[in-house]
Amino acid sequence: EDKVVQSPLSLVVHEGDTVTLNCSYEVTNFRSLLWYKQEKKAPTFLFMLTSSGIEKKSGRLSSILDKKELFSILNITATQTGDSAVYLCAVPRTSSGSARQLTFGSGTQLTVLP
Amino acid sequence: SQTIHQWPATLVQPVGSPLSLECTVEGTSNPNLYWYRQAAGRGLQLLFYSVGIGQISSEVPQNLSASRPQDRQFILSSKKLLLSDSGFYLCAWGPDQETQYFGPGTRLLVL
């Protein structure tokens, strides 16, 4: 059974700190890994990673994948209070159909204090 | 650009009442569509997915059902709600087999 594990479960930092969120996975026939940010409403898409060692970057957020060690990290530099959210990691599940169901981790609750 | 709509945003229903949540997608054709539920403090659980009109796959047994009467419309229903059906219901669409984009969600409280 596919598995996605995120750590830490929660994290409290002060504005300006840098944080690293972890996601490890066990899936059959890995294709990609996705990161989402969920504030009080629906998750918003951040990154999709398919290749090892290639960093994806968007502003202060960046992410990288290690397919050998089966994990990904999400970095946020110079954190702001607006970064407070649950960060979700997901991996498309192996499926015989054309739709890929996502297996989600439990998320990391990040709280950034002013 | 593509947008996904869900309504209502919030719903309070008594136990035993029926349910109908609607999701529509604009700006794309033949998307993969998904219904998720997120219970308080828990992760996202996939309920149903659809690869085309009238094609529904169920992930977990439950008293909910889904239908896709049109290409870009996905409906989640129940004939009789249970207390345990309370949660945050999210519809998502996917342009391909890998990526999914979520709608704004419906908060359902069953009393």
By a Cβ cutoff of 8 Å, what residues of chain B touch chain A?
32, 34, 42-44, 46, 49-51, 57, 59, 90, 94, 97-105
- Residue A98's pLDDT is 52
Residue with tokens 């700006």: B27
Mutation target vs B (from A4, A46, A102, A108; most B CBs, 10 A cutoff): A102
Mean pLDDT for B89-107 is 89
pLDDT band at A107 (very low <50, low <70, confident <90, very high): very high
Residues in B touching A45 (Cβ below 8 Å): 99-102
List b or e across B86-105, with b for residues whose CB sees 16 or more CB atoms inside 10 angstroms. Answer: bbbbbbbbbeebbbbbbbeb
Do residue A45 and residue B99 have CB atoms under 8 angstroms apart?
A: yes
A62-106: per-residue pLDDT in tens?
A: 999 998 999 999 999 999 999 999 999 999 876 555 556 788 899
